[in-house]
Structure 1
């Protein structure tokens, strides 16, 4: 009636609908890639800062330089391809850092164990065997904690599957980017402990009082709620004190 013929649009209605859906899908992919890159950048920055702050062995300044150059390569208005390319390289850098930290933590763990075993042997040679026996029936079965107080029963350890379901983020820091055993979880916890700013002494106290498995679970939980916790180190020490009180 007004000189407009909409029949060509009607004929291509299905095609145009598919194009519109593709635009929406592309935007979702772009948004997800940008979010993943932001999270990965944050994790890499925290890991490098933790390594530098704690004076860990390694050329961390060179790794930091690689990180800075990666960030600088991102254009002001990046495309999906730009973001995904940088994300791939950033994830590789993160995995390299995690591998280095795990290697350092295993070396430290082994040397610490050697010292503790040697000390235990020396103490065993010099002390009377009767000094380790309970002095009354009331003390039979009591488990001394690291601070001398006694906990009535050990802390319950939840199944690993439940822990990983509740705290999925910890898996990113496991060997090879995954956690399939308690050993993997404890290895990931050592890496995350540094990233969150929990001191080695605070984590060691937690391992002694809670047990290494539960200490690793606590780190996984803190990581999951890191945005709600002002001081991860203080929070860890508070949990350890509570565990020590039973």
Structure 2
């Protein structure tokens, strides 16, 4: 950073170390990376909890960006906007002056903008003989551009945490519903069971949940409910097995061919009145066996559906495909590493964060990404996005391609493995490392 580029605030406002750090960051902009200002603004909105700004401060930032004449932010001296407070108040829907100044200070403290004050504290621009802006005094948007990758990573982490919390809430709702109804079945079919103790433990577990639980509150309760659910299913399974055993014993004990064992016609069931009795008894016995076998099959199927909850998509049961090891995915798709937290991908969660950043960069809609995560699974969806990024020069529409792969996976026509292996074969060096 050139020392002559450091600016200090006008008037009584003191210079702080944070202001100096923001100016250092703003001076390290990659000149080859312009970015759409409105996409960047939406990224800041998604990461506002991490950045530490309110929705009113974001409204002021939106107004400042509207004064920048171009759609894309690029490095240079032209990133300074110089609207007056009256103009800003109009574009923030009549925000009072004191509120406006407070939120401007919040944006400066958050490191999203810089003040570039003139000698007299006014905001204006000097133009050269051709009418071009030579030097301007106002608010510098350089920190916003310099922190673009950091903000995208933070927004991706927030989106991933929100998705994990949503999945946990769905699992909690399903588990609560299952337990409520399974305990009712146990109470109605076996009065001697400990259903009242099970119900008390269930109520004690769910009573600890707050009104709007987060992931940290849901996970321990979900573990307790999963264990309780397994216990209830075990008791119901034992009850079903006991009933089946009693039914089989009674069936075997009542199997009498004739009421006259000394009759000479017993060894010839094709003749006499006893033949009709034997035939009817045999048909009734066979019918009972068929009905009992059907009941056992239905009960086993229902128990399996209770213990395993595969993802259901449009009425079809679909199990997410198995993913490759993370190291293999990174060897096949090395470009995704640059978008991970801190420029590294060391875990599957880092890969999912990087995939969320890449999703925005490739103009893949949030809906397409959520559907892919639901059908393929979060790890496999992140792997597919990494492969799409690796082959992005050959793909016209990344979003359409992802939707097509998702639909094919729902029809059991697509798995991730061949795609990863094709990229490994396309790069012989990575293939050797993978082996």
TM-score range, shorter chain: 0.5 to 0.7
Q: Does 1:83 align with 2:218?
A: yes
Q: 1:55 maps to what in 2?
A: 190
Q: Does 1:3 align with 2:138?
A: yes
Identify the match of residue 230 of structure 2 among 89, 95, 101: 95
Q: 1:27 maps to what in 2?
A: 162
Q: 1:232 maps to what in 2?
A: none
SS of the residue 1:3 aligns to: strand
Moved more, 38-47 or 108-117: 108-117
What's the CA shift for 1:107? 2.3
| In 2, Cα distance between equivalents of 1:113 and 1:87 | 39
What's the CA shift for 1:53? 1.8
SS of the residue 2:140 aligns to: coil
What's the CA shift for 1:216? 2.4
Identify the match of residue 37 of structure 1 among 165, 172, 175: 172
Query: Of the two, which has the highest radius of gyration?
Result: 2
The CA RMSD measured in Å over matched residues stands at: 3.9
Q: 1:212 maps to what in 2?
A: 293
| In 2, Cα distance between equivalents of 1:127 and 1:100 | 47
Q: Does 1:13 align with 2:94?
A: no
What's the CA shift for 1:210? 5.3
Q: 2:250 maps to what in 1?
A: 115
Higher helix share: 1
Q: 1:106 maps to what in 2?
A: 241
What's the CA shift for 1:17? 0.2
SS of the residue 1:85 aligns to: helix
SS of the residue 1:58 aligns to: coil
| In 2, Cα distance between equivalents of 1:23 and 1:64 | 36
Q: 1:154 maps to what in 2?
A: none
Q: 1:163 maps to what in 2?
A: none
The question of whether the paired residues in 1 share the 8 Å contact of 2:187 and 2:193 is answered with no
What's the CA shift for 1:91? 0.8
The question of whether the paired residues in 2 share the 8 Å contact of 1:30 and 1:80 is answered with yes
| In 1, Cα distance between equivalents of 2:221 and 2:265 | 64
| In 1, Cα distance between equivalents of 2:204 and 2:264 | 61
| Residues 1:130 and 1:32: Cα distance change in structure 2 (over 3 Å) | farther
What's the CA shift for 1:19? 0.5
SS of the residue 1:120 aligns to: coil
The runs of 5 or more residues in structure 2 that have no matched partner are 1-135, 272-278, 306-435
| In 2, Cα distance between equivalents of 1:128 and 1:20 | 89
The question of whether the paired residues in 2 share the 8 Å contact of 1:207 and 1:215 is answered with no
Q: 2:207 maps to what in 1?
A: 72
SS of the residue 1:4 aligns to: strand
What's the CA shift for 1:135? 6.3
Cα distance per residue 1:165-203 (max 9 Å; x no partner): xxxxxxxxxxxxxxxxxxxxxxxxxxxxxxxxxxxxxxx
| In 1, Cα distance between equivalents of 2:288 and 2:166 | 40
Q: TM-score, normalised by structure 1?
A: 0.53
| Residues 1:217 and 1:58: Cα distance change in structure 2 (over 3 Å) | closer
What's the CA shift for 1:16? 0.4
| In 1, Cα distance between equivalents of 2:137 and 2:265 | 108
| Residues 1:31 and 1:207: Cα distance change in structure 2 (over 3 Å) | farther
Q: TM-score, normalised by structure 2?
A: 0.32
What's the CA shift for 1:83? 0.9
| Residues 1:216 and 1:129: Cα distance change in structure 2 (over 3 Å) | farther
Higher strand share: 2
The question of whether the paired residues in 2 share the 8 Å contact of 1:145 and 1:209 is answered with no
